[in-house]
A and B are shown apart, each in its own frame.
Chain A
Amino acid sequence: MIAQTLFLLIVIAAVALFTINVRKIIRNINLGRPENRSDRPAERLITMLKVAFGQTKMVKRPVAAILHFFVYAGFIIINLEVLEIIIDGLFGTHRIFSSFLGGGYNFLIGSFEVLAVLVLVGVIAFFARRNFLKLKRFSGTEMTKWPRSDANNILIIEMLLMTAFLIMNSAEYAFIKTHGSVAYASLYGHDPAGTFGSISPTLSSLFSGFSASSLFYIERYAWWFHIIGILAFLNYLPYSKHFHIILAFPNTYYSKLQPKGEFTDMQSVTNEVKAMLDPSYIPLPVAEGSRFGAKDVQDLTWKNLMEAYTCTECGRCTSVCPANITGKLLSPRKIMMDTRDRMEEVGRNIDKHGKDHTDGKALLDDYISREEIWACTTCNACTEACPVNIDPLAIIMELRRFSVMEEAQAPASLNAMLSNVENNGAPWKYSPADRFNWATNN
């Protein structure tokens, strides 16, 4: 009874803390401007099923895709086991699913164990790749101390969780095989549900010669470690890049569905331009007080901000960015990480000082420099590479718009180009009257 009460309290605390933190993330995302991304629901659903569930964009790097698939499948399927553990923990039962699944239960646990081993293979390979292979993709200016340790924390926690799961099963297997049901019932207080597993029969040989009470404590300790570990990991997610395991789904659902080459149109500008060209034009309503483009996170849309929380810092975007490849400061991954860092800073300010507090800082200049935004070729390699359809280019464009339309600050040569377009109808300084000369001066 004490164990059950303790378990209940731990679950309640974990869920409550998680809810508080997720609500903060939702609040932060809603700091963004409104944007309708609910049209074409069927197409959105298909995109989500393909890109998030089906992981179709991961396969561009096949080795990483297979390893990631192990971890992903393990994560989704082993959650069924977590459900059983929670029921057992709350009601004091043991392996409750075995009572109504019969022979299917052995298959279930057997599959979980295979998945657990595959997850272990995946995370160990990922850990080695990050720490020993020194891939360029995992370094870079934005990969400072926290992002690096965040990545390792996740991998280590996953290793520990899977190890605990396998130890738990194999210790119990060893107990029943070596000490029998009578000894089991006297320590556990109930009969064993049976022996299960595909990997644990082999692993149980590690425990040969262990006493009944040792095996009992190993199994119980592993059980508690596993479930508390999972609840702790759940609460680590909101602070981590690993939050992508949740947001990948809504983020792909709300993907940009237009061709990549199509950039957003600005209704606020359309109103002014139409009024200039046609004095009788009645402007459509636009959000009040909003500036052109974005200086800070509140000027971006909620979708831009959701994407910042979705980014898992894999760096596929940066590794294909032509500017980054040729040594420029721009890194699309940094754009997303900066947006998230700034958004969390704004969120903390709201928590501490209330909604109207300003700290005098902004996303542009304090986080992302002008040099970065002007190095972009708008080639869409980053958006193509992102396995969860994040669009760093959209943020870069909003920062450029602010820079040009609110501050008139563009590189001098671009200002020259813009004035040529305005005065000559071409980006170069040619007379519009000469535009058709190509037809005659052959």
Chain B
Amino acid sequence: MDKFTIPTMAEMAAKGEEPEILFWVGCAGSFDERAQKITRDICKILHHVGIKYAVLGTEESCTGDPAKRAGNEFLFQMQAMTNIQILDGYNIKKIVTGCPHCFNTIKNEYPGLGGNYDVIHHSQLIQQLIDEGKLRAEGGESFKGKKITFHDPCYLGRGNGVYEAPRKALEILDAELVEMKRCKSNGLCCGAGGAQMFKEPEKGVKDINIERIDEALALEPAIIASGCPFCMTMLSDGVKNYNKEQEVKVLDIAEITARANGL
């Protein structure tokens, strides 16, 4: 991170400049240690391809997604309207998020409250950069022949129909891509959605992340890829549960892309 500094909106506005795209980091990406690595890798990718971007830094706040899914519409709308004021204050038009929950909320639920932006998830940004030829998989770690399976985050896949973008990012690696039986529109939740991330599960016979990791591990992958900080936590915990952290890595699409390019 010493190679470049992360530009904030406040600094940019002070210089009278506007970014091409705002990177919405999200709470997990800001505070969760594991997710912070993904955040930095997204910045590295943005920096690498030379996109003029900025983050809100301390001006960013929770989108309100967990409050809304937990049934607290008041709190959600308070968060949303405050965020919209800030975004509109900086005249933001285009946003990339590091989290499918932030992506879904800003893209789908902010317009009804007056916040209209062109919102993409970071896997879509990576796909666009690959399509435009600005991003390849070269100069870094080789994933050639490695067995990778992709876990669809619910709010990216079923929630918004984004199935191909993250797979596109994996296809250029020349790796061996394997699909779980429950993939794409039939994908199984990691167990964190709907504010489950922040509570203990109800009584049952098994944890959802274990059910999911059983399915992933049955494929004997070297890497389980995902695109969501909450899936990351749930899947990593699942792998740890079987003491398989050495053999199986859980990585975000952004981390894999950054590594493949030696960023």
- Closest-by-CB residue of A relative to B104 is A261
- Cβ contact within 8 Å between B193 and A328: no
**A427 within 8 Å of B (CB atoms):** yes
Determine the chain A residues whose CB is within 8 A of the CB of B78 once the complex forms: 273, 276-277, 422
**B159 within 8 Å of A (CB atoms):** yes
**B240 within 8 Å of A (CB atoms):** no
- Cβ contact within 8 Å between A377 and B208: yes
Determine the chain A residues whose CB is within 8 A of the CB of B2 once the complex forms: 442
- Cβ contact within 8 Å between B75 and A422: yes
Which of B22-30, B88-96, B241-249, B250-258 interfaces with chain A? Answer: B22-30
**A332 within 8 Å of B (CB atoms):** no
- Cβ contact within 8 Å between A330 and B202: yes
Binary per-residue interface labels of chain B (96-113) against chain A in the complex, 1 for a CB within 8 Å, 0 otherwise: 000000001000110011
**A288 within 8 Å of B (CB atoms):** no
- Closest-by-CB residue of A relative to B205 is A327
- Closest-by-CB residue of B relative to A293 is B71
Determine the chain B residues whose CB is within 8 A of the CB of A328 once the complex forms: 201-204
- Cβ contact within 8 Å between B194 and A376: yes
* Interface positions of A from 314 to 331, Cβ below 8 Å from B: 320, 322-323, 325-330
**A433 within 8 Å of B (CB atoms):** yes
Per a CB cutoff under 8 Å, which of A270, A273, A379 touches B193?
A379
Number of interface residues of A (CB under 8 A): 68
* Interface positions of A from 257 to 273, Cβ below 8 Å from B: 258-263, 265-266, 269-270, 272-273
Determine the chain A residues whose CB is within 8 A of the CB of B72 once the complex forms: 401, 404-405, 410, 418
**A434 within 8 Å of B (CB atoms):** yes
**A342 within 8 Å of B (CB atoms):** no
- Cβ contact within 8 Å between B191 and A377: yes
**A280 within 8 Å of B (CB atoms):** no
Q: How far is the CB of A56 from chain B (nearest CB, A)?
A: 12
- Cβ contact within 8 Å between A428 and B194: no
- Cβ contact within 8 Å between A270 and B199: no
- Cβ contact within 8 Å between A262 and B104: yes
Q: Once bound together, how far apart are the Cα atoms of A55 and B22, in whole Å?
A: 42
- Whether A436 contacts B58 in the complex (CB less than 8 A), given A259-B108, A377-B154, A378-B194, comes out as yes
Per a CB cutoff under 8 Å, which of B6, B155, B158, B197 touches A439?
B6
* Interface positions of A from 115 to 152, Cβ below 8 Å from B: none
Which of A262, A326, A374 has the most CB atoms of chain B within a 10 A radius of its CB?
A: A326
Binary per-residue interface labels of chain A (356-372) against chain B in the complex, 1 for a CB within 8 Å, 0 otherwise: 00000000000000010
Number of interface residues of B (CB under 8 A): 72
**B137 within 8 Å of A (CB atoms):** no
- Whether A322 contacts B208 in the complex (CB less than 8 A), given A265-B112, A405-B72, comes out as yes
Which of B62, B193, B200, B205 has the most CB atoms of chain A within a 10 A radius of its CB?
A: B62
- Cβ contact within 8 Å between B185 and A435: no
- Cβ contact within 8 Å between B186 and A377: no
- Whether A435 contacts B57 in the complex (CB less than 8 A), given A262-B109, A273-B77, comes out as yes
- Whether A272 contacts B74 in the complex (CB less than 8 A), given A261-B160, A322-B191, A426-B61, comes out as yes
Per a CB cutoff under 8 Å, which of A261, A323, A402, A428 touches B208?
A323
* Interface positions of B from 171 to 198, Cβ below 8 Å from A: 185-189, 191-198
Per a CB cutoff under 8 Å, which of A60, A322, A371, A421 touches B189?
A322
**B70 within 8 Å of A (CB atoms):** yes
- Closest-by-CB residue of B relative to A401 is B71
Q: How far is the CB of B162 from chain A (nearest CB, A)?
A: 10
- Whether A436 contacts B8 in the complex (CB less than 8 A), given A327-B204, A327-B206, A401-B73, comes out as yes
Per a CB cutoff under 8 Å, which of B1, B60, B187, B192 touches A440?
B1
Among all A-B residue pairs, the 8 with the closest Cβ atoms: A261-B159, A378-B194, A327-B205, A400-B71, A425-B61, A262-B108, A379-B189, A327-B204
Given contacts A325-B188, A404-B70, A421-B67, 10 further A-B contacts (CB under 8 A): A259-B108, A259-B159, A261-B158, A323-B208, A375-B202, A377-B191, A417-B199, A426-B31, A436-B6, A439-B43
A-B contact pairs, 15 of them (CB 8 A): A259-B104, A262-B108, A273-B74, A326-B204, A377-B191, A378-B194, A379-B189, A401-B71, A401-B73, A402-B71, A416-B198, A418-B67, A436-B6, A436-B55, A439-B6
